[in-house]
Amino acid sequence: MAVYTSIDNPELYFQCKLYTGNGSTNAITLDGDENMQPDLVWVKRRNGATKSMLFDNARSANFLQTESSDAEQDGADYFVSLDSDGFTFEGSDNSNNASSQTYVAWCWKMANGTASNSNGTNITSTVSANTTAGQSIVSYSGSGTTSDTVGHGLSSLDFLIVKSRGENDSWFVKHKDLASSKNLNLNQTVAETDVTSAYSEGGLSNLSGNTFGFLDGTSDANAVNESSEAHIAYCFKSVQGYSKFGSFTGNGNASGTFVFCGFRPAWILIKNSSSVTSWTLYDNKRPGFNEDNAYLLPDASDNELSDKDIDLLSNGFKPRTSNSALNTSGDTYIFMAFAEAPFVNSKGVPANSRWLNKITKLIRGEVHYEGATNYDYV
């Protein structure tokens, strides 16, 4: 099945970068063919057990950590800038720039700057939205009223992550394939949970329009909408050939369910929504060839692990394990994925020709390309 895309070069909107810390000022340049100034940078150490760091264009140098419910922390000693072709860190913290330690950074492009958004009910948000790529960063001050809503700058959402900036509250996740009253937590291994009966401080709802809303827990919705408290939201909508937010059912076999995306994934985040398991995160740079068995855990400080294999294919992905984090028979899994290359470009040409062109340039010595990649079909 040919699936056309409106984004021929995903590297304009998402890139994955491997780098080594230097314990000092460290200017990191992304590897893409064209420059991309990131607006969201999520860093995780590979060779040591430390928490991650998230920096974005809405919160200056402050950072959050997905493994923790902690409020945001001052990162002035670790962060310098988001640059036209990457980012710059400083200091020697183990989480992002310790000397000789290895790291991965996942980077998204939103908009050049931010804008006020009044689409919400009684809440005015500040939004950095990239409508072409279907992704935005939203900062807002909670109202304490569950019926209020927040404008996010996109036409609708498929995946939403919200964190209180000033309180020690969990990361709340709403996915389009979860039931209306169900949420997940990015910093926890718990299965999908009914917000209205299991959480005292509520959760997220309503991804269908240009605003998102809230659900009361057993008492209120303060974890995502506490009055006068600052919150940050990362918002995503599927764009054909560039991103996909969906679900699949495990089959329990060593050769798992094939999941169609319409592109070769550069990055995949998966969670078993039926059972207590960790979130698992894969990308095309670690190790960069199939079967890809290097993964990291957003909900834990573990170093890079390698006991759950997955194939990154030309048009989707396929678990190669019966491990419960990826492939328990009958369990439901939600995922978010971003493209390395669309299966078919906007002109109807198989996009692998773009990568053949890269290989030709490599042979000619015109470019340096790090890491071999398999382009498998199913």
- H helices of the chain, in order, are 195-198, 222-225, 352-363
The token duo for 321 is: 């394990």
Q: Tell me what pLDDT residue 344 has.
A: 76
Q: How far apart are CA 212 and CA 64, in angstroms?
A: 22
β-pairing verdict for 280-283 and 263-272:
antiparallel
Helix, strand, coil in percent for the chain, rounding step 5: 5, 35, 60
- Parse the chain into domains and list their residue ranges: 14-108, 116-236, 244-363
Q: Tell me what pLDDT residue 261 has.
A: 95
Q: Tell me what pLDDT residue 221 has.
A: 82
Tell me the pLDDT tens digit for each residue of 234-257.
999 999 999 999 999 999 999 999
pLDDT tens by residue, the chain, 378 residues: 456 778 989 999 999 999 999 999 999 999 988 899 999 999 999 999 999 999 999 998 999 999 999 999 999 999 999 999 999 999 999 999 999 999 999 999 999 789 999 999 999 999 999 999 999 999 999 999 999 999 999 999 999 999 999 999 999 999 999 999 999 999 999 999 999 888 888 999 999 999 999 999 888 888 999 999 999 999 999 999 999 999 999 999 999 999 999 999 999 999 999 999 999 999 999 876 677 789 999 999 999 999 889 999 989 999 999 999 999 999 999 999 999 988 777 777 776 544 544 544 455 454 444 444 444 434
Neighbours of 113 (CB within 10 A): 8
Q: How far apart are CA 15 and CA 266, in angstroms?
A: 8
Q: Tell me what pLDDT residue 112 has.
A: 76
Q: Tell me what pLDDT residue 376 has.
A: 43
Tell me the pLDDT tens digit for each residue of 340-352.
988 777 777 776 5
Q: How far apart are CA 296 and CA 368, in angstroms?
A: 27
Q: How far apart are CA 161 and CA 172, in angstroms?
A: 6
